[in-house]
Amino acid sequence: MLHFVVFFLLVPFGFAAWATAIGMTPAPLLGFGPGFVYIASQVLVAWWINGLVAGWLTGVLRDYRPRVWQILCAAFWIAWLPLIVFYYGHASFFASIFPELAADAAIQPFSWGYLLELLRYSLPFLPVWIAAVYGYNLITGVGWFDTNHIVGAPAGEATPLVTEQVAGAAAEQAAPPAVNMVGAEGAAATATVPTFMKHSRLKPDSALLAVKADEHYIHIWNCNESDMLRYRFRDALEELDSNIGAQVHRSWWVRWDAINQCRRKGRSLRLTLSNGLRVPVSLAHKAAVLEAIKRRSNV
């Protein structure tokens, strides 16, 4: 939820403030306050509609594994259709309040000329939108609309997913390490195959390393691949063998013998799995995780 608020509210607001400060039209005509409201309302609506369309395309095209920029470009052109109506109504509304804007913008009825002008005005949003998605992933590790690293990483490639930022500037100290735990790569799935695996493209008998809740979906990882399914996390937990793994966070389940490292950051823990996946541990599950690591280290 935090990442959603930051990316879909704070980031577009920040961009609108910057655009207003550098004098993007119509800020010079309206002044900073009204100019910010004008630009921010446009940016927010464009951000949300593009995000909705991109999210829809991510789900529809996930089996084809398109790149993020391909999803964003396709979403831009699809979202542009409803945005045409919004932009026209938005400009007309502000022109009715600020006569100087109406005189300068010369609001005109729908025409090919108007659409071409609107397209010229809208195109700069596309690189900004793409840069925001990639930049947010680079800074936080959260990849919006990414079917390759979050939904399905290429075989053998580590998935550098960070779902939760750990506060505090305390130096990292290694917790009791899980050195040379049973290799998950060669582990056979000895437990009963979960029902949700029947709906996955992963091999049913492959050893699951982690399961992550994502609203109405779950992300699942084995040694080399991952997939996303429409499934309730609570139901998935009931189907997983409690002897080989457990819930370590409100939205994460991990396999014990997939843990390569456990590190402390303040009071929190962060697990690194054998495929490079990084998983947060909540305080409620911290003691159980440390006990499980200690027990398996002594095996």
* pLDDT tens digits, one per residue of 100-132: 776 554 445 556 666 777 777 788 888 988 998
Q: What is the mean pLDDT of residues 67-87?
A: 88
Cα–Cα distance for residue pair 151/154, rounded to 1 Å: 10
Average per-residue pLDDT in the chain?
A: 77
Cα–Cα distance for residue pair 146/163, rounded to 1 Å: 14
Q: What is the mean pLDDT of residues 140-147?
A: 73
Which one-letter DSSP state was computed for residue 164?
A: S
Architecture of domain 173-297: Beta Barrel (2.40)
Q: List the one residue out of 46, 80, 48, 75 whose CA is nearest residue 59.
A: 75
Q: Which residues pair with 255 in a beta bridge?
A: 245
Contact 43, 17 (CB under 8 A): no
Cα–Cα distance for residue pair 88/109, rounded to 1 Å: 9
Sequence-ordered alpha helix ranges (H) in the chain: 2-5, 11-21, 27-30, 32-60, 68-97, 99-105, 112-122, 125-140, 233-239, 283-297
Q: Which residues pair with 227 in a beta bridge?
A: 220
- Find the Cα–Cα–Cα–Cα dihedral 143, 144, 145, 146, rounded to 10°: 0
Delimit the CATH 2.40.50.1020 region(s) of the chain. 173-297
| Of 255 and 26, more confident | 255
Cα–Cα distance for residue pair 119/160, rounded to 1 Å: 37
pLDDT of 34 reads: 87
Q: What is the mean pLDDT of residues 33-51?
A: 90
